[in-house]
Each structure stands twice: as C-alpha cells, then as structure tokens.
Chains A and B, each alone.
Chain A
Amino acid sequence: MNEIKKTYKNYVGGKYVRSESGKTFRIDLKNDFYEVPLTSRKDIRDAVVAAKKGYSNWQKLSPYNKTQVLYRLSEMLEGNFETYQQLLQDAGLTKAKASEDIHKAVDTIIWYAGMADKWEQMTGNLNPVAGDFFNISHQESLGVVFTLNSNNQSLNSLLLNMLPALTVGCAVISFNEENSVIALKLAEDINNSDLPGGALNIMSGKFELLIEDVSNHVEITAMAIYKEINNHDKKIIKENASKSLKRIFINPPTMGLEALFPFIETKTVWHPKGR
C-alpha cells in the first residue's frame, strides 16, 4: 500500500488554508521532505484581519478560562505523542531526544497555562501616592503580535516562541521557516484545544519576502524575533516599525515572568479613595 503523504496547510482564523498564491516551498528534513505553503503578502494581510477578530474573542475569555484552554492544549499534544516523536525523528533527533523535547513542551504549556490567570496580579501594582487616591498600575495586552520563530527542530522552542504573547491575551501570528512542518502539525492540536479562531495563527514561508509588509502593517502592534536575523533586516524592521510605533523585540526571554513583559503595557488609573 502506498503511503498517503500529508499536505500541511496554514492555520488562520481557526481554519486550514492554502496560500492564496498557490505557492509552496520544500522543507528537507533529515529523513523526509514536505511541501508547505509559501505565505504571500495577501495571506499575511488576511491573517492580520483574522488575528484582530481572534484578539477580541480571546480577550472575552476570563483568565481562568484561558488557563483551561491552554491546559487542554497540553492534553491534546500529549495525546499525539507518537506523531510528534516521529516528526522530530524525521528532522534528525534521536528517539530519546525527541521524547525529551515533547515532555519539555508539555511542561512549557502547563507553566504558561498556570501563568494565564496569575500574571496580572504579579505585574500590576497599587502605587503609593501622596493624596486620597488609589493609584493602580494595571497591565494590558498589546493586540496583534507577529512572532518569527526560531529554526530549531523542536516542539518546545516553538511553544516558547508563541506562548508568551498568547498567555497575556495577545493574538499571535506565528511565522515559521525551517521548523514549519512541526508548527503546522501543532496547529491541529491548537484547533482541538478550544482556542478561539484567530487567537493563534500558524503560517509557514520565507520571512525575507514579507519583511516590508509585516513591519509596515499598522495593525500589528509588536514583532518578536526569536531567530537570528542580519543587521540589514533589523534596520528595515526598525525603520518601518517606527512609523507606526510598533514594538520590536529581538530575541526576548522565553521563560519566566520577564518573557511576558514585551507583550504588555501599563495603564495607570487614579481613583478617589473617599473618607
């Protein structure tokens, strides 16, 4: 019997879509190869529209509910342990290394799931002021975030790139190059974890083709770059981003409370105390 080879698609707005351009590119893993969508400029625009919608739906969930959704993602992922193991082995990891990576990935999700209803308490503050006021610093999520994920063939590092922004309530467009196969596989579990459509969008392609459009797009409020990029690209991104005051983070932390800091901003509220 012939093996039926899987065609991976982008995951945008809760749906699996091909690139509207119809183009794909080839990813050669150590033991196998795949054709994955080559995201076009229009695909990115559509993804931003979907993420914008996803953002408001993800925001509607209570923090406690967000925790449950993320926890469910870890359950889904663990249920597909063997598929991921095979994919990681195809990419060149040993069986033991692959298995270790998946366990770590599950731990990562559970850590972030736990943070989803705690980060607000941990980052907010009641500030001391001279007067009859409460002065409250409250943290809010930024909005639509674009992440350029690392090229590591690792499920764990993929999750470490997408979860910080998602946990604080941002909608994420998670862009992948060399690790696209594993990312697009992960999209299937994301789809099964009750995450509102558009909150997390997974796309594959070549960032160099989209650098202008992404860094110029006003609706994208932040870009997190988790892979090495050259100085020329950094310059383009920073220049374009400055026009819309887009936040740019190059290799931000991926674990601990500080991993969340890039994706939140402080709103300070004064409220009369009364007597």
Chain B
Amino acid sequence: MSSIKESKNILKWSDTVELVDNLRVDEVGLKERVASLASRSIKKDSKLQALNYIISMCDLTTLEGEDTEGKIGQMTAKAIRPDPSNDEVPSVAAVCVYPALVSKAKEMTRNSNVKVASVSSYFPSGQAPLESKILDTQFAIDQGADEIDIVINRKAFFEGDYRKMYDEIVALKEVCKSVHLKTILEVGELRTYENIKKASLISLAAGSDFIKTSTGKISNGSSREACYLMAKAVWDYKTVTGFKAGIKVAGGIRDSKDAIRYLVIVNEELGSEWLNPDYFRFGASSLVDDVLKQIKKLKTNAYQSSYYFPRG
C-alpha cells in the first residue's frame, strides 16, 4: 500500500469515516439556495464568455453499443473544431468513449489539445468483480486514455459496505496512477441528498480527481441540487486535505441556459478558480449543439438551426 501514501489526495479510511459520520443535509435550504442561484440573469458579453467556457469544458460523449470507429472519427473532428465557421469557438476539453474505441479517438486527437477519456470498471452498472474492473481500466489506459471515468460500486454502497466501495476506488486509482480519475456517483440512483454527499466524500477520500454526477444512462441524470452538494463536498474535502478536486456534471443537460446555471453554482460555491476545464466539466452530447447555436445567435442576432452545425 506504499503507493497510496505517496498519493497525497487519498485519505485514510479511519479519517474518511470521521468525515462522513453523522452527515446531514438541510433539504429546504438546499433547494432554496439552488433556486435562487438559478434566477441569476447572464446576458450579452458575460453570456458569450460563459458559452465559450461551456464549450471548453465539454466532454463530448458517445457511449452506445452502436458506436463505430467512423462515428468516433466524426465526433472527434467536431470536438477539435466545434464550429468550423467561427474560429473563436474553442475546442472541447475531451471526448469520452468506451475502452474499445480509445485508440481510434487517440489517433484522431493526436495533433490537438483534446483529451481522450474512457469509461471503465464495467460502466454503467459496475456490477463486476474488482479484478475485471482493474483489467477494464488497465486496457483503457494501455490504449492511451488520458482520463478514466469509473462508476462507484452502488451495490456495496446500498448494502452499507462503504469500505468496499472505498477500497475499489483506491485499487482503481492505483491502476490509473497519474491518469486523471473521475468517479461517477449516479446521483439519480442514490435517492437522498445525504447519500449524494456521502458518496461524494468517500469517492474523494479514495483518491478521485473528479466526481461526476451520472452515467447518462438513466432518465434522472444530473441535477443542480446534486451539483451543489458535490461542490460542497469538494470544498469540505479541500478544507480537510488541501486537495482541489473537480466536478463533472453529466446526464440530461441539453441547453445552454441550464448549463450556465451550473456554472453559476460552481462560481458561487467554489469560486472562479474552478471555472476551467481542469476543475469543471460537462458530459454532453447534445449540449454542444445548443451552445453553438446560442454563440452564433449572439453574433448574428438570428436564431439558429442545428442543421447548420457539424454532426457528431
């Protein structure tokens, strides 16, 4: 376990227990705060800046059984140059694919800043033995993945075996080494706000660089409340350990307005230093299209059709 001690962002289990013990969330206060943040009005120049931020923070994602190398090629081209008619629009942060398609994505992005993220650990259910998850993750890394998105062991979590959930993340972190590790909580399945915060803290304590809301595979994906709680967890964790973790929101964020509200939450709860792709990401497939439409609207004053933007 020597490598764990070296990794400064891992908290010992005994300290982790202390962190999540007796955790309570004020539901009414939480909802009010999130609703009031959602009412901020972001217009004109600030809106344009926010929209460009969103593009640069996107993990353009395709996680389907029907994915082919051709589809990855198309999506990666879009990731590098989201709007070919406007070179002020930045590249997205990363493309996110299944392990089998990492090498193709890597080949396509070799001359760009776009990173390749791979889901692993038997995404989206995580119902597999740890040995298999390690193999899955190791394969993705060998293929060249820069970032790894794993799912927490919800089975262990709901059975109350938090230690097992923690140990699995620690084991996968060991496989990842310096590769960026994002841990998916699947907040839609966690049911209560306490569970979301608890899972966030355990995932952070086990060495996650990022915590992520959802797999995008269930109908209730991300929510602003979950993002708020995760921001709180990140802050708490930073207070205890000094480690600055990131947040990725994914699942059901389809329009710019909604995405901007997430930026507001992060800015208010964590500060503007979190407003960059190293600390905040959107997992998205259709969001990019809407943001591109809005950016063009601000430039031309005409509402746009996604027909005129690249597919991918």
Contacts and interface: CB of A to CB of B under 8 A. Distances in A.
A250 interface: no
A138 interface: no
Interface stretch (B134-142, B192-200, B202-210, B302-310): B302-310
B301 interface: yes
22 contacts: A45-B303, A48-B303, A212-B301, A213-B303, A216-B300, A216-B301, A216-B302, A216-B303, A217-B302, A217-B303, A218-B302, A218-B303, A218-B304, A218-B305, A218-B307, A218-B308, A219-B303, A219-B304, A240-B302, A243-B300, A243-B302, A244-B305
Contacts of B303: 45, 48, 213, 216-219
Nearest to A52: B305
Interface of A: 45, 48, 212-213, 216-219, 240, 243-244
A175 B149 CA distance: 49
A264 to B, nearest CB: 18
A24 B304 CA distance: 28
Interface of B: 300-305, 307-308
Contacts of A213: 303
B202 to A, nearest CB: 41
Contacts of B308: 218
A218 B308 CA distance: 9
A244 B304 CA distance: 9
The 4 A-B pairs with the shortest beta carbon distances in the complex, nearest first, are A216-B302, A219-B305, A218-B305, A217-B303
A50 to B, nearest CB: 14
A216 B303 CA distance: 7
Contacts of B304: 218-219
Contacts, number: 24
Nearest to A212: B301
Contacts of A217: 302-303
Most buried by A among B303, B304, B305, B308: B303
Nearest to A144: B305
Contacts of A45: 303
Most buried by B among A45, A217, A240: A217
A79 B135 CA distance: 69
Contacts of A240: 302
A134 B154 CA distance: 59
B301 to A, nearest CB: 6
B41 to A, nearest CB: 14
A217 B300 CA distance: 10
Most buried by B among A45, A213, A219, A243: A219
Given A218-B308, A244-B305, 6 more contacts: A45-B303, A213-B303, A216-B303, A217-B303, A218-B303, A218-B307
Contacts of A218: 302-305, 307-308
Contacts of B301: 212, 216
Nearest to A217: B303
B298 to A, nearest CB: 13
Contacts of A216: 300-303
Contacts of B305: 218-219, 244
Nearest to B293: A218
A157 B303 CA distance: 30
Contacts of A244: 302, 305
A216 B296 CA distance: 12
A217 B303 CA distance: 5
A149 B308 CA distance: 29
Most buried by B among A45, A217, A218: A218
A240 B300 CA distance: 11
A48 B303 CA distance: 10
A244 B302 CA distance: 9
Nearest to A219: B305
A217 B304 CA distance: 6
A212 B301 CA distance: 9
A273 to B, nearest CB: 31
A48 B302 CA distance: 13
Nearest to A221: B305
A247 to B, nearest CB: 14
